[in-house]
Amino acid sequence: MRLHRLISWAGILAAATTLAEPPAISPEERILREAESFQEQIVRVVSTVRPSSVTIFNLVKQGNALVARSGGSGVILSTDGHVLTNEHVIKDAAKLEVAMLDGRKVTATVEGHVPEYDIALLQLRDDKGKPLTGLKAAALGNTTGMKSGDWVIATGNPFFLGASGRAVVTLGVVSGLNRIVPGEFFYGNCLQHDAEINPGNSGGPLWDDQGRLVGINGKISSRGGGSVGPSSSGVGFTIPVEQVQNYYKQMLLGAAGGIQPGDLGITVETVRDDKGKEIGAKITEVRAGSPAATGKSPLQVGDVIECVSLKFQSTTIRNATDYTNLLSLWPVGTKLDSIQVRREKALRVLTGFVLAAASKETKEAKK
């Protein structure tokens, strides 16, 4: 009798266990569920970041009136109305107006800018000219751990489709890192991605898949013109958030004429070993009177820069691009901890360098 009861209870428990187990799903169903989950996550992120994305109108005088000549996008960096955008979005404006998600349209003044690197900081103001408060600031991320293939989201005002203040959303992936894009506005250390950005997206934010700000969209690569100018080819370039952070405090001080990027006053080219491996940035010119020439231990033509230590972080310099990208992140007055160079096969660690105003001649890094 006892054995019979044990067998009965065993059968009941087995049946209960079977009922508790979730039914097996096919690989196709699993993929579909994961896609739906990802879609829901993107929708949540967009809802979170949209209040921090704004539309900017560049107004110019036309007779006695002010008219919108051009426009762009921006991102709110602080609850008291600081907005980040591109220099080329606000250039030569007689007045700046900003439209927000809640429908408000307010004025903005230029707080500070880094003209060469296409960065500008605005202050939103109320009807009485006082700083606007109570805004939703972007959560800051970083590009340090980003990889090609990571998802990114762009929000902005392409072709004035976000004129009401409700940002247009596009989705893509990181295509490349640490790009150098020269031109009127120099982009160093920038991200390349394929989230579609078009005229009007300039100055707008790029977000990671968690809704953190990783950069400011500014340039596209395009072969076409058309009636509205160049448009997206899937190759967009973004100023990294780290560069903005390094200049932020100085922009708040509103330096007259804009903030100057830092420079050592040297020209470099990539050097390789006998097997073709990149081993550093070789100095081909040291300009007279520059920090490189007047430091405690001056740099010399022929020195190969292998490492730069700055703010207690060491960066390996494998080529000229690494050097240019590192320096593009830092403003005038930044003190380097040390520079490690190889001089006539001997390794030297040199100190005492403070970055001065950048020379455009150094921006065309040779590869």
Catalytic residues: 88, 118, 202
Residue with tokens 């005229």: 199
d(CA 209, CA 150) in angstroms, rounded, equals 8
Q: What is the DSSP secondary-structure string of 299-311?
A: --TT-EEEEEEET
d(CA 305, CA 311) in angstroms, rounded, equals 18
Residues 6+ apart with CB under 8 A from 327: 188, 261, 262, 263, 264, 355, 358, 362
Instruction: Report how far apart, in Å, the C-alpha atoms of 104 and of each of 71, 99, 168 are.
Output: 16, 6, 17
> Are 86 and 72 a contacting pair, CB within 8 Å?
yes
Reported for 176-181, long-range contacts at CB under 8 A and 24+ positions apart, including other chains, are 176/148, 177/143, 177/146, 177/147, 177/148, 178/321, 178/322, 178/325, 179/237, 180/321, 180/324, 180/325, 180/365, 181/219, 181/237
Cα 310 off chain centre by: 20
